[in-house]
Amino acid sequence: MSLVAQPNVVLLPGLDGTGILFRPLLAALPADIQPKVIAYPADQRLSLAEHANLVACQLPANIVVVAESFSGLVALDLLSRQAPQIRCVLFVASFAESPNRLLRLVPLLPWAGSVMRAAPAFALRAFCMGSEATAEQLALLRESLAAVSPRVLAHRLGLIGARQIFEEARFNVPCHYLQASQDWLVPRTAAGWFQRHFASCQVDILDGPHFLLQTRPQLCAEWIGARVRSA
16-20, 84-88, 140-144, 197-201, range with the lowest pLDDT: 84-88
Instruction: Evaluate if residue 121 carries a pLDDT over 80.
Output: yes
Does some domain include residue 45? yes
The structural domain count of the chain equals 1
Does some domain include residue 89? yes
The answer to whether 62 touches 86, Cβ cutoff 8 Å, is no
**Residue 84 pLDDT:** 83
**Residue 103 pLDDT:** 56
The answer to whether 171 touches 199, Cβ cutoff 8 Å, is yes
- Our CA angle for 22, 91, 49, nearest 5°, is 90
Does some domain include residue 3? no
- pTM score: 0.93
Does some domain include residue 135? yes
Could you report the per-residue pLDDT of 30-70, keeping only the tens digit for each? 999 999 999 999 999 999 999 999 999 999 999 999 999 99
Domain with residue 218: its CATH number is: 3.40.50.1820
Q: Give the residue numbers spanning the domain of 63.
A: 8-230
Does some domain include residue 136? yes
Instruction: Evaluate if residue 99 carries a pLDDT over 50.
Output: yes
The answer to whether 178 touches 212, Cβ cutoff 8 Å, is yes
Residue of higher predicted confidence among 100 and 225 = 225
Does some domain include residue 2? no
Could you report the per-residue pLDDT of 204-228, keeping only the tens digit for each? 999 999 999 999 999 999 999 999 9
